[in-house]
Structure 1
């Protein structure tokens, strides 16, 4: 799930960069890129992968 979110954030960052758009002073290309990298890192860590704790 986080990989899909990261891909969408990277697409938005690319479109914003090409169009020269900035939404306010908070959401910029760098912010979207950083959020995308965070989602990729969470995906690689296995967060949201649907694993369950070990059973005894």
Structure 2
């Protein structure tokens, strides 16, 4: 999920860079790039990737017990 959000942030940063827009106090394409890199680093670290499997198996495994 964080990788998808990072892709969206990178897309917004690219658009801002191409158009040449700056959104006020220091928010520009570089800010979006750094935010996207932070989100990708969190994704690679495993933050936000906990699923059903981490709580004791899949739903099929629990249904058979």
Pairwise TM-score range, normalised by the shorter structure: 0.7 to 0.9
Larger radius of gyration: 2
Q: Which has the higher contact order (CA 8 A, sep 6+)?
A: 1
Over the residues paired in the alignment, what is the CA RMSD in angstroms?
A: 1.6
Segments of 5+ residues of structure 1 without an aligned counterpart are none
Output the TM-score relative to the length of structure 1.
0.85
Partner Cα distance (2:27, 2:8) in 1: 14
In the alignment, does 2:7 pair up with 1:2? no
Q: Aligned partners of 2:55, 2:23: CA distance in 1, in Å?
A: 41
The alignment covers a number of residue pairs equal to 54
- Runs (4 or more) in structure 1 with deviation over 6 Å come to none
Q: Which residue of 2 aligns with 1:22?
A: 22
Where does the alignment leave 5 or more consecutive residues of structure 2 unmatched? 57-65
1:16-55 counterparts in 2 under 5 A? Answer: 16-51=16-51, 52=54
